[in-house]
Amino acid sequence: MAAHIFKKIRPAGATAVLRRTKTTSAQYVDSRFRDPTFEKLMEKYKNLLKVISIQDLILASNSTPPSVSLDFLHHVSQRLHLNRGPTAFLRKYPHIFHIFNHPVKLQPFCTLTPAALKIVRQESMAIDNSLPLVVTRLVKLLSMSVSKKLPLRAIFKVWRELGLPDNFEDYVISSNSDIFLLQDGNEPNTHFLVLNDGEAFKDCLIHAVENWRIVECCKEDCSVDRTDLRYSFKQGFPPGMRLKKNFKAKVKEWQRLPYVGPYEELGVEEMRRTKSRMMRMEKRAVGIVHEFLSLTVEKMVEVEKISHFRKWFGIDLNVRDLFLDHPGMFYLSTKGKKHTVFLREAYERGCLIESNPIYEARRKLLDLVLLGCRGLGRGDDNSNSVDQSEENEVEEMYKD
């Protein structure tokens, strides 16, 4: 909710009232209520993101099997935030990475273990099987744009979040030239993805929140007044977050506020600079970022990435402040030196409520990260024989 709407929140144990109008942006982030469930989840994701970065470098190599030298990883260790160096990091995850001596170049290299490669193939297969959904996601994303076009570089930044294949320009865009169009920008090497014809997808342009509204409306014990459901969003505040009566009243008032949906065209009335118009535009912005998160595979995204779409979606507000102003809908984490936002309603006890094949594959990789060195004890003769067999297998591949 806009800063001028919500000015008072008192978390459990707080001794002062938070006034958004008297704090800097950094202080506002620091003063947010911490949700232990999401903080624990993001703590796990910190190392997973580093693992994925190294995995992508390995898979991008032209060698057979895919591998990269430790010397190369040393050169990019600062960018990957490997504070203790790549060797120490790789050895923390023997279920994912295997270090071996290159038989030709005679220096240590790193490759993926069979278990990790199996997960890579599973995720790749899940993405290939979901290509029709990918097309729909891109149509919805472009439909939220005021001009029905988006910079290709912005889409590249969220390709993993949207479940796009690596070469989605060929597999998705070129293969659907009747729907999408690539347009050159005014600057060199700048391209835009344009919605050429989305007529066939008009029936798909339904806000994700509408599904919740329909379900709630059909419930006998509906928690929201049915007359207010038309413009309401699901709210779920974390346990321990103490809400004052004034805050609850503001939330109820905001829930009733009409707004123009993410896929609807703005009318002339919405262009006037009035107080009521600004409040409706703020709610429209909330609806857009809510829909954006609903389109992602894991219902989470880095704030910096979604900020690249702000201008194209017609959002004049600070996106990060939008998330902080609505703690019942979003949760902002600052773990891992990044600001990551989660769609609160999509999660329960740190897991997606409605899973999908891509998420399940990525969750398996997270399980290997959490496994660490367990299951590969020093005194386990079986684990030593497995490592040796992997070493021999890699050497045989290079000999071939």
**How do residues 21-48 score in pLDDT, each as one tens digit?**
546 667 777 777 888 899 999 999 989 9
pLDDT of residue 7: 43
pLDDT of residue 8: 40
Percent of the chain with pLDDT over 70: 84
Q: Are 342 and 38 in contact (CB under 8 A)?
A: yes
Residues 6+ apart with CB under 8 A from 134: 127, 162, 163, 164, 165, 168, 172
Mean pLDDT for 135-164 is: 95
Whether 385 shows a pLDDT value over 80: the answer reads no
- Per-residue pLDDT reduced to its tens digit, 327-354: 999 999 988 778 999 999 999 999 999 9
pLDDT of residue 201: 85
Q: Which of 103-107, 188-192, 321-325 has the lowest mean pLDDT?
A: 103-107
Give the global pTM.
0.85
Quickly state the pLDDT bin for 124 (edges 50, 70, 90).
Answer: very high
Q: Which of 16-30, 48-62, 238-252, 269-283 has the lowest mean pLDDT?
A: 16-30
Q: Which of 183-197, 198-212, 229-243, 258-272 has the lowest mean pLDDT?
A: 258-272
Mean pLDDT for 132-150 is: 94
The answer to whether the peptide bond before residue 258 is cis (omega within 30 degrees of 0) is no
pLDDT of residue 220: 72
Whether 55 shows a pLDDT value over 90: the answer reads yes
Which residue has better confidence, 392 or 155?
155
Mean pLDDT for 51-59 is: 95
Closest CA to 148 of 201, 190, 203: 201
pLDDT of residue 23: 61
pLDDT of residue 302: 95
Three-state DSSP state, 98: strand
Quickly state the pLDDT bin for 238 (edges 50, 70, 90).
Answer: confident
pLDDT of residue 230: 86
pLDDT of residue 188: 79
Mean pLDDT for 228-253 is: 87
Phi, psi of 198 (to 5 degrees): -110, 20
Helix-, strand-, coil-residue percentages of the chain, each rounded to 5? 50, 10, 40
pLDDT of residue 222: 67
Mean pLDDT for 299-324 is: 93
* Mean pLDDT estimate for the chain: 84
How far is it, in rounded angstroms, from Cα 50 to Cα 154? 21
Q: Are 100 and 391 in contact (CB under 8 A)?
A: yes
Quickly state the pLDDT bin for 392 (edges 50, 70, 90).
Answer: low
| Residue showing tokens 């207010």 | 228
Whether 262 shows a pLDDT value over 80: the answer reads yes
How far is it, in rounded angstroms, from Cα 55 to Cα 370? 16
Whether 171 shows a pLDDT value over 60: the answer reads yes
Q: Which of 148-152, 252-256, 274-278 has the lowest mean pLDDT?
A: 274-278
pLDDT of residue 377: 59
Quickly state the pLDDT bin for 384 (edges 50, 70, 90).
Answer: very low
- Per-residue pLDDT reduced to its tens digit, 184-200: 888 878 899 999 887 88
